[in-house]
Structure 1
Amino acid sequence: MNNLLNLTDTHTHLYSEEFDQDRDEMMQRAIKAGVSRFFLPSIDSSCTQKMYELEKQYPEQIFLMMGLHPTYVKENYLEELAHVERELASKKFYAVGEIGIDLYWDKTFLKEQQHVFQYQIQLAKKHKLAINIHCRDAFDEVFEVLESEKATDLFGIFHCFTGDFNQAKKAIDLNMKLGIGGVATFKNGKIDQFLSEIDLQHIVLETDSPYLAPVPHRGKRNESSYTLLIAQKLAEIYQVSIEEIAEITTANSKAIFGI
């Protein structure tokens, strides 16, 4: 049955060293599970080469983003931003990401994170690309930047959305789709409680692998084949078939990434 599904993993770190031992097998498992497209966010310049190699290896399946992740905004952030800018000008990407604000690990560079987030949104507008937002313990700060850049050419995905219903509505009002992953399967994940009130046209699927594996693999390494488990959970929540979940969320991802 799964070969008929057309699932899209809109956020997966396939270049992670956690896949170094079995990357090809992991890709085959995902393809077998019905995942036909994989969107890779950038973290910083250290992963660029690996991303390019993967794109060469799987040109039909792998699509790249370019950006500087907020937890990698350090003393050398201007250098890293220049790298993002250079790469965006030199080849085809499908989004600027993953970008945003993260105050969970460290608040030292909040000002720089805000500046870098805003600057990369402006780069996305310049290149007519979507953005892919990382937000952790920083909803107010992220929304503040998004509000200041609000425009018809600002659109994208709120990756790993873990907010409440009002924050979900706010994100949608700002032209964002909600990236739904393993958290929807967690007992304490909370988003499953209001998700059915949000129209499926605002939802895309993601794994964020190797992180945030869905139940029953919680706490273990996540992988893109588990997009299927997230689709199954959404089929339960929305009371529709898994085929419908796959079809709608993939169509949403194509609209965002311009495919």
Structure 2
Amino acid sequence: MYLIDTHAHIYLPEFDADRATMMERAKNAGIKQILLPAIDSSTHPQMLQMEQEFEGCLAMIGLHPCSVNNKFGEEIDILKRYLSQRKFIAIGEIGLDFYWDKTFVQEQYEAFHQQIQIALSYGLPIVIHSRNAIDESIDVVKQYPGLRGVFHCFSGNLEQAEAIIGTGFMLGIGGVLTFKNAGLDKVIEKTGLQNVILETDAPYLAPVPFRGKRNEPAYTALVAEKLAMITGRDLEEVQKITTENAEKLFNLL
């Protein structure tokens, strides 16, 4: 069996010193594919270069909510040009972030809606960033029947998880699952694996025992092991279910 890391920013400078050996560790850990979420035009070239250089890396395109400002339309035009030139596996990561800065809340909403419409026009899933904005992001998704995607780095409560699952969306589960007081383990214990895909969000949010250090795709295996422990399933079964969920959502078959 193999695993898919559905969300890793491994094109960022944090990996410049050991990118090749990091990728080798991922391969040795059974990670077959690594999906690369976009941030903005300042990092698109590095992301696409990563996709070219390393087998199994697949790029998304999108504008991260933390990169949204009053000129976000220029970024949307750039991603439209990319989409006219080649295929991507998803529109992401996109969404809302009310944690860092609320200066451009309205612009975040507008960029979110515009990118959802682009995703629908191309028949692509979306990858949602929803820090301190899970309920607001769910409300947006509900406006678009037939929309597919994942709430990346989900760390909400059971009610929110059930609402997301009710829309047909996936829960992106990563290192937070292993954090002692996060409470995510109790949520997943009740929801099960039917709508779960694995991710790292590398270089961020490394799982225990690497918490506080740089995260990397190889650690996807640690999240799978924790899921097996929580759900009482064999590790191979967890691998099978989460991998098939990812393959279906991102059309990787």
1:13 aligned residue (9, 16, 19): 9
Aligned to 1:43: 39
- The answer to whether 1:162 aligns with 2:155 is yes
Letter in 1 for 2:249: I
CA distance in 1, matches of 2:134, 2:6: 21
Task: Name stretches of at least 5 consecutive residues in structure 1 with no aligned partner.
Answer: none
CA distance in 2, matches of 1:133, 1:246: 23
- The answer to whether 1:172 aligns with 2:168 is no
1:63 aligned residue (46, 58, 63): 58
Deviation at 1:199, TM superposition (A): 3.0
CA distance in 2, matches of 1:188, 1:45: 36
- The answer to whether 1:99 aligns with 2:97 is no
Secondary structure class of the residue paired with 2:69 = coil
CA distance in 1, matches of 2:114, 2:164: 19
> Moved runs in structure 1, 4+ residues, more than 2 A?
none
CA distance in 1, matches of 2:222, 2:75: 35
- The answer to whether 1:253 aligns with 2:249 is no
Deviation at 1:142, TM superposition (A): 1.0
1:201 aligned residue (175, 194, 206): 194
Is the 2:154–2:173 Cα contact (8 Å) retained in structure 1?
yes
CA distance in 2, matches of 1:57, 1:134: 27
Secondary structure class of the residue paired with 1:63 = strand
CA distance in 2, matches of 1:80, 1:34: 35
Secondary structure class of the residue paired with 1:200 = coil
CA distance in 2, matches of 1:225, 1:49: 24
Identity of aligned residues (%): 48
Letter in 1 for 2:180: K
- The answer to whether 1:236 aligns with 2:229 is yes
Deviation at 1:144, TM superposition (A): 2.1
What's the TM-score once normalised by structure 1's chain length?
0.95
Deviation at 1:48, TM superposition (A): 1.0
Tell me the C-alpha RMSD between the 2 structures: 0.9
CA distance in 2, matches of 1:123, 1:90: 15
Aligned to 1:27: 23
Farther off after superposition, 75-84 or 161-170: 75-84
Secondary structure class of the residue paired with 1:42 = coil
- The answer to whether 1:109 aligns with 2:104 is yes
Aligned to 2:217: 224
Is the 2:174–2:200 Cα contact (8 Å) retained in structure 1?
yes
Letter in 2 for 1:36: K
Letter in 2 for 1:79: E
